[in-house]
């Protein structure tokens, strides 16, 4: 095996094992010694790839955000109609956000570990632009009245992130459906009449 492949396998192992630890224990309860033991590498190997535990976490968060974005895009792209794409994408986000691993890493630890500004920038890079594109398509199609898309995208993103955080704390078996119903009504209020 070539050195480059070994390095990549080591990095992947560190991210994979860190992700599992962060998801089950939370960022604050995980130490570097746990990460390297789980990955079967030395601290030197970890520091070859990452500057700190926060740097490892950033890589994990980027991976989780990318996976959620892929789920949202796949759900949206299954529809031809721009309204159906927005609805399916929003619902897919809420559904993906109910996974305990996603809640812990993306919604609870993400902003706390990296700070709101960096967390938001990563969210923007991973998926927020998809929401803005969907809204721009709706404006172009006349499905929603002409308006600046950027503030609307931030409002909806904030509402969905807040709803996902609430879903992380509730034990109600109907919470996801209730949340989706509320969001669907909110979205419907945007429609051009």
Q: Given pLDDT bands bounded at 50, 70 and 90, which one contains residue 145? A: very high
Interval 63-83 mean pLDDT = 95
Q: What is the dihedral of CA 70, 72, 78, 79, to 10 degrees?
A: -140
Q: Is the pLDDT of residue 17 over 70?
A: yes
Q: Given pLDDT bands bounded at 50, 70 and 90, which one contains residue 155? A: very high
- Domains of the chain in sequence order: 1-50 (1.10.10.60), 53-189 (1.10.357.10)
Average pLDDT for the chain: 94
Interval 33-46 mean pLDDT = 96
Interval 57-73 mean pLDDT = 95
Q: Given pLDDT bands bounded at 50, 70 and 90, which one contains residue 131? A: very high
- Say what the pLDDT of residue 123 is: 86
Q: Is the pLDDT of residue 104 over 80?
A: yes
The pTM score is 0.90
Count of residues making up the chain: 193
Share of the chain above pLDDT 90, in %: 81
Rounded distance between C-alpha atoms, residue 124 and residue 90, angstroms: 15
**Assigned token pair, 139:** 């404006």
- Say what the pLDDT of residue 1 is: 67
User: CB–CB of 27/57 below 8 Å?
Assistant: yes
Which residue is associated with the tokens 């609430």?
166
Question: How many Cβ atoms are within 10 Å of 28's Cβ, its own excluded?
Answer: 11
Distance of CA 42 to the CA centre of its chain: 30
Rounded distance between C-alpha atoms, residue 93 and residue 71, angstroms: 8
């Amino acid at each position: 095996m070539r050195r480059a492949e070994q390095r990549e396998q080591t990095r992947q192992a560190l991210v994979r094992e860190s992700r599992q630890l962060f998801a089950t224990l939370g960022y604050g309860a995980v130490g570097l010694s746990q990460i390297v033991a789980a990955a079967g590498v030395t601290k030197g190997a970890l520091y070859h790839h990452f500057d700190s535990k926060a740097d490892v976490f950033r890589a994990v968060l980027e991976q989780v955000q990318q996976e959620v974005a892929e789920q949202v895009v796949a759900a949206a792209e299954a529809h031809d109609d721009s309204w159906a794409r927005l609805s399916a994408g929003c619902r897919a986000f809420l559904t993906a956000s109910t996974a305990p691993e996603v809640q812990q890493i993306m919604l609870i630890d993400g902003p706390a570990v990296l700070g709101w500004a960096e967390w938001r920038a990563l969210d923007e890079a991973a998926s927020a632009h998809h929401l803005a594109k969907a809204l721009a398509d709706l404006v172009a199609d006349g499905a929603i009245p002409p308006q600046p898309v950027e503030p609307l995208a931030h409002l909806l993103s904030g509402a969905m992130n807040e709803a996902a955080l609430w879903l992380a704390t509730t034990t109600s078996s109907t919470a996801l459906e209730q949340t989706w119903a509320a969001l669907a009504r909110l979205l419907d209020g945007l429609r051009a009449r």
